[in-house]
Amino acid sequence: MLKSLRRANIHFKSDERVLGDSDFVERVLMAAVEALERKYELKSKGYNIDKLSDRVAKIFSINPEDIFKLGKQPVKVKARSLFCYWAVRELGFTMADLAPKLNISQPAVSMSAKRGEQIASENGYSLMDE
C-alpha cells in the first residue's frame, strides 16, 4: 500500500516518533510551531524573569521581590504559582532553572505551575494583557 501511495505521489506528514494519522501529526506539529513562535514573540518584546515578575506583581499588588521570598501567605502562593506557570509554559524556562531562583524544589515548581494554570484560566489572566 505504501508503495502504491508513493507511486501516486500521495505523501503524508508523519514522524516515526509520533503515532497517529497524518492529520494528528499535522496538528501536533502546528501546536509546537505556534508555541515556539509565541515564546520568541515574548522574548522579542523583552519578557524575561524580571519583566515577568513585574507583571505578576502588578496583578497581585505586591512587590516583585515578594515572589522570590519564602512564605505561604495566600497572595504570595498565587503570585508564585502564576509566575511559575508563565515562566515554564510561555517563556520556556525549565523547572530546574526556576527552583533555585525561587528557593523551592523542582517538584514544588511543578505543582506551582499547575496551580498557576488554574489561576490564569479562572481569572482570565494573560501574560501580555497590560
CA triple 118-85-31, angle to 5 deg:
90
Contacts of 30 (CB under 8 A, 6+ apart): none
This prediction has a pTM of: 0.73
Q: What is the largest CA-CA distance in the chain?
A: 66
CA distance 115 to 27: 27
Higher pLDDT, 27 or 90: 90
Q: Is the pLDDT of residue 46 over 90?
A: no
Among candidates 83, 55, 86, 51, which has minimal Cα distance to 67?
83
Among candidates 18, 29, 38, which has minimal Cα distance to 92?
38
Reported as a single tens digit per residue, the pLDDT across 56-109 is: 999 999 999 999 998 899 999 999 999 999 999 989 899 999 999 999 999 999
| Grid cell digits, residue 78 | 498565587
Domain locations in the chain as residue ranges: 18-45, 48-123
CA distance 121 to 34: 19
What does the mean pLDDT of the chain come to?
Answer: 83
| Grid cell digits, residue 20 | 497517529
Q: Report the pLDDT value the prediction gives residue 2, as an integer from 0 to 100.
A: 45
Architecture per CATH, domain 48-123, reads as: Orthogonal Bundle (1.10)
